């Protein structure tokens, strides 16, 4: 994984995974293993969906949430890709035991 510090590009987001790149707001995040694990989970989600399909589905799930009346944060948090990442980010071995397409288990909307 290639980690790049880009404080201005990320806006209000603390980090972002784009294929093999993890974009971070500042260098202190290089030792935030929960955050890095969260982004690694997104990396594997993207890998199994050939990057572009993941990004299309990610936007689709977000916009579907917004269309259902969720605000930005709710639509973001209810995205199944984020739900999987948040639910497992503290388990630093999760990506080693994760099954492909594990995010599908998080499709059911949470309130």
Q: Which residues bind Zn ion (CB under 5 A)?
A: 82, 85
Give the span between the Cα atoms of 30 and 60, in whole angstroms.
30
Q: Which one, 24 or 85, has the nearer CB to Zn ion?
A: 85
Q: Which one, 5 or 16, has the nearer CB to Zn ion?
A: 16
- Minimum CB separation of residue 59 from Zn ion in Å reads 14
Give the span between the Cα atoms of 9 and 16, in whole angstroms.
10
- Residue 4: which of 16, 22, 20 has the closest Cα? 22
Give the span between the Cα atoms of 74 and 103, in whole angstroms.
17
- Minimum CB separation of residue 7 from Zn ion in Å reads 18
- Minimum CB separation of residue 38 from Zn ion in Å reads 5
């Amino acid at each position: 994984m290639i980690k790049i510090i880009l404080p201005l590009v990320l806006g209000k987001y603390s980090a972002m995974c784009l294929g093999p790149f993890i974009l971070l707001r500042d260098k202190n995040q290089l030792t935030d293993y929960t955050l890095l694990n969260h982004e690694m989970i997104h990396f594997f989600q993207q890998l199994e969906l050939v990057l572009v399909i993941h990004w299309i589905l990610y936007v689709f799930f977000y916009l579907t949430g917004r269309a259902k009346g969720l605000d930005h944060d709710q639509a973001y948090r209810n995205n199944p890709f984020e739900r999987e990442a948040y639910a497992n980010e503290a388990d630093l071995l999760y990506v080693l035991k994760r099954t492909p397409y594990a995010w599908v288990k998080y499709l059911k909307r949470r309130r």
